[in-house]
Amino acid sequence: MRKILNNLEEYILIVIFPIMTITVFISTIFRYFKLGAIPWSEELARYLMIWIAYIGASLGIKKNAHLGVEILVNKLPKSLKSVAKYFRVAIILLFNALIISFSYKIINHQMNMGQLSPAMAIPIWYAYLAIPVGALLMIIRSIQMVIFQNKQVVN
């Protein structure tokens, strides 16, 4: 179970990315050979891309692959580098907490309105749910980054 949680983003992306790729490929083949259009394929690909972006952002935090202002941090004295790291994490936590708060309001409104997607006729909030899920995962990975970096320094 721990391995699944440690690699959650990778597992989700391993499932979603091929589905999106295959959907776009099949839709393109259908249009190219004039077999007709698959009306829901573009919508599905768009929603899966949204999920990929937000889950991928969490994976970026986990792998410490996001762009940072390293040139400024590297010029700081050693004592301030640690402060800059915590400041960065604090900004990430605050930003993602705000994203979760605002997206919750939007999703709740969409659930109450019963809005459906145009082509697939699924509740539209399924697509929007990627935003708070990705933000929550980013919060978790940011906290893990601080905890585990501190443990490595102590050991």
Q: Please list the pLDDT of the chain residue by residue as tens digits (155 residues).
A: 778 888 999 999 999 999 999 999 999 999 999 899 899 999 999 999 999 999 999 999 998 887 676 777 888 888 888 888 899 899 999 999 999 999 999 999 999 999 999 999 999 999 999 999 999 999 999 999 888 876 544 33
Could you give the CA distance from residue 98 to residue 96 in angstroms, rounded to a whole number? Answer: 5
SS3 percent helix, strand, coil of the chain, rounded to 5, is 80, 0, 20
Q: Which domain holds residue 149?
A: 2-154
Q: 3-class DSSP state for residue 46?
A: helix
**Domain count of the chain?**
1
Rg (CA), the chain: 20
Tokens of 58: 């969490």
Specify whether the CB–CB gap between 106 and 134 falls below 8 A.
no
Give this prediction's pTM.
0.87
Question: In which residue are the tokens 């599905």 written?
Answer: 44
